[in-house]
Chain A
Amino acid sequence: MTASAQTLRTAHVIRSDAEAIAVAHKLAARFAVEASVRDRERRLPVAELDEFSASGLWGITVPKEYGGAGVSYVTVAEVIKIISAADSSLGQIPQNHLGVLDILLQTATEEQKRYYFGKVLQGYRFGNAFSESKSKNAGAFETRIRFDTDTAQIDGEKFYCTGALFAHIVPAVAVNEQNQAFIAFIERDNPGLTVIDSWDGFGQRTTASGGVTLNAVKVPLSAVIPAHKAFDEPTADGPISQIIQAAVDTGIAVGALEETKRYARESRPWIDSGQDHGWQDPFSIAAIGELEWRVHGTEAILKKAGQAIDAALLNANEDTVAHASVVVAQAKVLSAEIALLASSKLFELAGTRSVLGKHNLDRHWRNARTHTLHDPARWKYHLIGNYLLNGVKPARHAWN
């Protein structure tokens, strides 16, 4: 047990969907105040994260029978969107934590569920050590797990480990000799686990998405779950992982659009417009109209994606999971599109003065460009089209 993990954590327990949304709005208003400063100084949001997990929002998907609120995925997406509109780094950090909670639900033993869901309701945060930058593709793992009679040993190297630096427990993906993926829940101060704060991307700067090395890390067998089962069988885990991505990007778009309107109100009139104020410019007004309907269209599809996931959770089979994958892919394409568009139009409508360094408005575009790279939208068009044209169900993995 780590020093921090030994500390008794006492998070608030959220009881309903409505409460989750209300708490998210309250937190977002506070997170927005220093979001720009944190980005500029790359100041990691340590205090904000403590407040975030103490609010109970990191436990809202724990099912009712384990003491949580078991909120809908419409609500999960809404919460992540609201937080991301204020600070998209903070919105992204719980991404893998929430994904892991579903893998626990799908593949863990009853005892493991009680233990880890209990921890989450107390306010413990899971990070992640999933992706590897040197493997052949995003779904290939070189990190190994070897099982002994009562322990397992994990060795490997991870990258893009969002949340690991601030986590109390770091779930790590590793494969056995049959190339089946397992997740080991590793205490943050477990010998052999090193988290490196090496993320220096130009966007999502305060996610601390650096690296993790696993050097002869030993955990009890009770800390390992057979994660591959979440994809061997049809489950909603892929769509769950994806809807959080889409919600972050939708949040970035919402935040950028609000900022655009704020600055467009103060812009100078163009000389040929014959107007006294920038906000009277008919072309600027229409451009705002264009962003507005596209944001609302994205939000509407995000909601449909949440509903499709809820349906797949209620009745998981090949068809419901495929449908959820397809609708989430629509949300993913639309959110990437509008996040990039809104964060770029911001400057067009606010004028040259808006690029001054003191405003730091480029953070919206930097965040949009960085986070929308998580998995390429070009393959989502293909996924959707292949289902429509050829009836091919999407491949099941964490990116669909």
Chain B
Amino acid sequence: MASIRLTRRPRHPVVFGVLLVISVLMVLPFAELILSSLRSANTVHEDTWLPSVFEWSNYKQVVTLIPFGRYARNSAVLATLFSILTTLSSAVVGYGFARLRGPGKNILFGLLISTMMVPQIVTLIPTYLLFAQFGLVGTYWPWVLWGIAGAPYAIFLYRQFFSSFPKELEEAAVIDGAGRIRIFVTIFLPLSRPLLVTAFVLAFNTVWGDFIAPNLLLDESNTTLAVGVSQGYVIQQGFQLSNLLAGGAMLYLVPVVVLFLAAQRSYVRGFVNSGLK
């Protein structure tokens, strides 16, 4: 269909101006965070927008006043562990939903879609009680189990993706006598690389950003950066040194933003492609 090509629209100085103002407002808190993190303890109260001295040594305190390195390593280990497991497990389950048939498939698929909307916050406390019964509180086992269970949304994405391939893809392999597992590992898994990346990044961000589960399930010695930073740098009555808190939040945030900017393209495409058809 020859749709009418809209004539080149005129420039929109007003739209440009509005977008510019909003964009700057949206990222201004980041700038303030960086500036706050560089104020020295004596000058945090000064009323200038730029600190009179840039106290770079704050960052030394940020990483030494709390066991920052250990928390960061815990976060990285936990997020990587969970992300690898959930990415692979979701691919396996998604393949099952896409290419295989069995009794009760529709019911199970309905269940998958339903669980997509069950908020973690509802199941977390009763799950915590379950983990407590098995002595898993204070360990990383909950994340291993959550990882193996797969993530409904990722399973759904894989299912959509694997459904799009023609039957012939498997037929040849079956003639060669390959089993389901080999077909999955040698044909489908390599094809899904872009999706693997998206699912991994999403899962990593989820664990890195999670506060509630580590706060509930882990303790001082093995907790994550999210918990460590947000509860650190305390002076009295729970009030925190705002310049150090800013520095801690800054360092905590850097990996998330870098990962997003690096994966932005495939990340955005993944969502848009999966729906609206």
- A associates with B: no
